[in-house]
Structure 1
Amino acid sequence: MSSNQGTQGITEQDIADFLANTPGFFERHAELLASVQLSHPLGQRAVSLQERQAEMLREKIKGLEHKIIEMIRNGQENVSIADRLHRWTLSLMQTRDAAALPAVLLQELRHQFMIPQAGLRLWGVDAAHAGAEFAQAVSQDVKSFAASLNQPYCGVNSGFEAARWLDQSHGVTSLALIPLSQGGQAFGMLVLGSPDPTRYTAEMGTEFLARIGEIASAGLARLLPAPAAPDVGAAD
């Protein structure tokens, strides 16, 4: 068998494996590195192997820089959101008048998070607040829907009753519906609305909205009847 015939079975993968498993090859044949020419990806000119490797490293570094910039930007956005949530929470804690709490909650929520529209309804509130706007009657369907939500609902406004709680409901195309509960029992619902159909979508994460609901529930629970004191008068 001739030498030509003996090399016909060698593949590019065989050569790649040989070079990978023989790290000293280019040390013994350093002149090859200078003589190997590769096509430049952005043009027709040829470049040396070292130049091509350096260019690949520069591209890799540039990609890492972009990732770092994105991470910094995301970190800054998270800090900004945390600051807004902190200010909103403080506004609730500093509201002494329980009857004013729903209005403060909605006003600060719209202001801090630039939400176009927000509204809420509570049921089962203390009799002293029964005539307030936030305590207006809602259907049993709304109550059942709120009780069934394990997490906030985000999506298209398909004629939800809760959308009518907003001042300009006719222009709302997307909604976030956040249940309010205490002790596992729903006692209200917070609705956020936007004319932008992409503001609240079914694909978006709801963790942050769930935190909003937990804080709002803790504050608004002040409007519910006080729990009955345990009967301690009966003797054994």
Structure 2
Amino acid sequence: MNSMTDTAVTEEAIADYLQQTPEFFERHAEMLTGVQLISGHGPRAVSLQERQAQMLREKIKGLEHRIMDMMRHGSENTSIANKIHQWTCAMSKVQDLRELPHVVTASLQHIFEVPQVALRLWNVSGAHSGSIYTMGVSEDAKAFAASLTMPFCGPNMGFESAHWLAQPDAIQSMALLPLHDGAMESTSNVFGMLVLGSPDAARFDATMGTEFLSRIAQLASASLSRMRLSPLSLARS
């Protein structure tokens, strides 16, 4: 019987035999030069050794591409980590808390080359309640910030927070970073939001990872939490 099943089983048996009996080619070395295969780069026939060499070169090329990608991602991550360190140092140097919101936004914009950055805070102490950074925040915006358990990245869909930016009409993509006085995953104790905006629709894409943005939100939260009302004052308000 010469069915397709019989052919497949026979080929499998042959392959299994050759794998388990490598000395077969030592006894029949002439087969290695006599076997002709179709080249992977055209219809011409090549020897078994040449076809193996082609496959090996292709595999090496694929590995080289993977190594280059790993090196590129590693370099990008190192660059971002260095920028976060530089930004953290800038915030740490601030002694007058009235200057802190400006330093947070201006240094973030400069160091990370973000076209537009805005910040809004609420539930801050009386000494800071009259600054621009505390104005124009509705209860809906506060509720939206409290609903975010991680930074939002995506297109400018007309969020209220987009209008905190200097030129909201120029913004195509945004990152919204809720500021928490506690764990990032918690929706309680939200006291502000950082807004990053770009005219590039791909700068803050919805599919991008948010690990570094979460780190930025945590660092900003830790620094700006010094401006908050005390827990006792919050309980009374």
Q: Secondary structure at the match of 1:77?
A: helix
SS at match of 2:212: helix
- Counterpart CA distance in 2 for 1:208 and 1:193 is 16
Q: Secondary structure at the match of 1:86?
A: helix
1:38 is matched with: 37
Q: Which moved more, 1:135-144 or 1:160-169?
A: 135-144
User: Partners in 2 of 1:61 and 1:79 — Cα distance?
Assistant: 27
CA RMSD of the aligned region, Å?
Answer: 2.0
Cα distance between partner residues in 2 of 1:117 and 1:27: 70
1:207 aligns to what? 211
Deviations 1:56-107 (A, max 9, x none): 1121112111211111111111111110000000000011111111111111
Which has the higher mean CA deviation after the structures are superposed, 206-215 or 85-94? Answer: 206-215
Name the TM-score, length of structure 1 as normaliser. 0.89
Could you tell me how far 1:20 is from its partner in structure 2?
Answer: 2.2
Given that 1:126 and 1:225 are in contact with CA atoms closer than 8 Å, whether structure 2 keeps it comes out as: yes
1:158-187 Cα offsets, whole Å, 9 max, x none, are 110000000000111211111011144011
How far apart, CA to CA, are the structure 1 residues paired with 2:29 and 2:88?
67
Q: Does the aligned pair in 1 maintain the 2:40–2:51 contact within 8 Å?
A: no
**TM-score using structure 2 length:** 0.88
Deviations 1:129-153 (A, max 9, x none): 1111001141110111111111111
Say how many residue pairs are matched. Answer: 224
Aligned counterparts, 1:134-173, within 5 A = 134-173=133-172
Instruction: Tell me whether 1:224 sits opposite 2:228 in the alignment.
Output: yes
Q: State the SS of the aligned residue for 2:154.
A: strand
* Equivalent residues of 1:123, 1:137 under 8 A apart: no
Q: Is 2:95 the counterpart of 1:96?
A: yes
Amino acid at match of 2:155: V
Structure 1 segment 59-70 matched on structure 2, within 5 A:
59-70=58-69
2:56 is aligned with 1:54: no
Question: Matches of 1:15 and 1:99 in 2, distance apart?
Answer: 80
Measured after TM superposition, the shift of residue 226 of structure 1 is 4.1
Bigger shift: residues 19-28 or 208-217: 19-28
Give the match's secondary structure for 2:117: strand
- The CA deviation at 1:110 is 0.9
Partners of 2:49 and 2:171 lie apart in 1 by 59
Unaligned runs of 5+ in 1: 230-236
Residue matched to 2:105: 106
The answer as to whether partners of 1:121 and 1:135 remain within 8 angstroms in 2 is yes
Q: Which runs of 5+ in 2 are unaligned?
A: 183-187
1:193 paired residue among 180, 192, 197: 197
Letter of the 2:90 partner, please give it: S
Q: Percent identity?
A: 54
CA contact (8 A) 1:172 1:194 kept: yes
CA distance in 1, matches of 2:68, 2:152: 32
